[in-house]
Structure 1
Amino acid sequence: MKFDWLIVGAGYSACVLAERIATQLGLRVLIVEKRNHIGGNAYDYYNEHGILVHKYGPHIFHTKSSKVWHYLSQFTEWRPYYHHVLGVVEGKKIPIPFNLNSLYDLFPPRYAEKLEDLLLENFGFGVKVPILKLRENTNSSLDFLANYIYENVFLNYTLKQWGMKPEELDKNVTGRVPIYISRDNRYFQDPYQAMPKLGYTEMFSRMLFHPNIKLLLNTKYQEIIDDVKFDRLIYTGPIDEFFDYMHGELPYRSLRFQFETLDQEWYQEVCQVNYPNDYEITRITEQKYFSGHPSPKTTLVMEFPEAYVPGKNDPYYPILNEANRNRLSLYTSEVEKLKKSVCFVGRLADYKYYDMDQAVLRALHVFEKSVVNSTE
């Protein structure tokens, strides 16, 4: 069978591109996925208790982009959802990201008020300040606060999650969870925040439900690439793997998940509770919050960060620092040589830490600028 496009992977980027190519260009697409499901790390399923579970950790949809929102809305209804996170600090559960409410949860009221005044005076209200920037402040009280937050909220969590100190990571990573000078306890402030009403997997299934799209699961693309006829390739897997690690491996952090169902209606006050300093886990997510479906039981997922070992576990988070960017540049040079025949797109192929909406926007951009042009 002849295809116009072969797409490696079935995550966000792959599904968006397959849908666009099939519906907008009328071309035939074959998707090859080594896992036994579509949706990549956003895959979800209903367990034996009827609870919708995110298999690979919590995936909370949020975006500032009306383009992304309206595009995905073609394939799902939405359930309004605001994500809330608590972090255990000195035995108390405080809002994360650290905000003005967190101040008053941890410190005596008069001292918390003093710190609040200093934060407002130096940064203003509604401002998000990266922890490393806050530590540059020379005011003695703010210096105390910056070091307190660094030691109790960021340092050990980062060591567990990344195996590195915050200073050793790219500022774009450490800046993802800033100190928020506000009383808004929501984890995100984007105008569009919701969960697919029937889950991500159903949304992806609708995206791929088209006669021009064929799907092959449980298959590594190397096993079939010599037997399938196609014109162009879209690759969404690890960029270093595609080139057989010719410039060395690009490192990732991975995760191990432990699932537990309890014979009680609820376990924790909010969907996610972080444990920056206690235990080996980083966080516990209570799955019922995602769908809102009632159940007398509740399912928890505990996350254990670990090093990525090819063939043993899955790559989750690219480790962005100067050394790895230099190695990545060697691979991007190889990509340039193949740009007429292979299109690299996605978190693993770009070696970038994308949120879900960023992955969609990137895929739409690739379709509009590269895929369409290649067919004209």
Structure 2
Amino acid sequence: MKRRHFLSALGTATLAGSAMPALAQYLVPEGQVRLVFNENPYGPSPRALAEVRKILPLSAYYPDSPYDYPIRDDLFDVIAGNHGLDHENVFVSSGSNEGLQAALMAYGQRGKVMTPSLTYDAHLGYAEALGVSVTRVPLRSDLQVDLDAMEAQLDDSVAVVYLANPNNPTGLPIDAERLRAFCRSVGPKALVIIDEAYNELTDEPEKDTMVDLVREGHNVLVTRTFSKIFGMAGLRVGYGIARPDIIKKTSKHIMAWPNGVGLTAAYHSYIDSDFIRFSREKVLQGRAMVEKTCAQMGLTPVPSQTNFVFVDVGRDAMTVRRAMAKEGVLINAGYDGYPQHLRVSMGRLEDLKTFDRVFKRVMSGA
């Protein structure tokens, strides 16, 4: 989708034309550049915004009835159909994070959770607070997930293995065939959860996904989110794909009611191929800009296949982060074991131009 066509479509949606600018100003103060949470500032889809406007009056009712929110079944249909599966292979949650938490609570009661030492961990901390034991395995020296070490350490005490693919915050995907072999080997002993939050942004999404293992009946749970390429982080919709028995067991631990507005936006975003292409193009353009900025400062970023860049800045990263924040540019740092690494999320291209100027100034000591 061309930028002018996208902006034209955005302008035709009543919600986009009135409420969204005010909301954006509220969330991101004027002059601030938000490159910290791996969001997609170009979303949600214009089609989704238009459809959400139509169903807002239903917000007075709990979305537990297909009569009230028939879009729920439509969303299940399109997700399951896209992957050659059935409704029984899918759950929907309040963001993929709730689904991940539910799976850890469902399966972590009978043993430990094994995970890389540097990875997305909000759900891991939640599980630990409720008594689930988590074992963390260091990354390899090249920042790749060490599947060999994880497999070597696996014993009867491990009930769940959690892997983000691509990993967060490194942005590195795990070799697809090695990961498939790992899942087939480990699956008979423990549930393998593959968090594919960034799958749509990888070089080869169909090759990288482990959904084919679900179709084959393996002990694998794949989670996805509408928070990244679909630009719906604030609407909190995610989903899981697995065998029916895994879906049923995990679903018992999902607490939140379905989000009727979110379900509507999710369905119409999922089928909006023009917006998906547009988002991917903008992320790739932005990533190239950030990588160029790093290279111009003599830095070598980790080769990302996500909507963020992880880079060793050769000095205390928290100091750089604070200096950037003082100039209104928010980025991330403070990773255990990696004190010199920053993570920069993709924002609008104009925001990344601001990042370029401020980062160069901070790194030069001006």
Q: What band does the TM-score fall into relative to the shorter chain?
A: under 0.3
Bigger proportion of residues as strand: 1
Q: TM-score, normalised by structure 1?
A: 0.27
TM-score, length of structure 2 as denominator length: 0.27
Larger helix share, 1 or 2: 2
Higher relative contact order (CA 8 A, sep 6+): 1
Q: Higher Cα Rg: structure 1 or 2?
A: 1
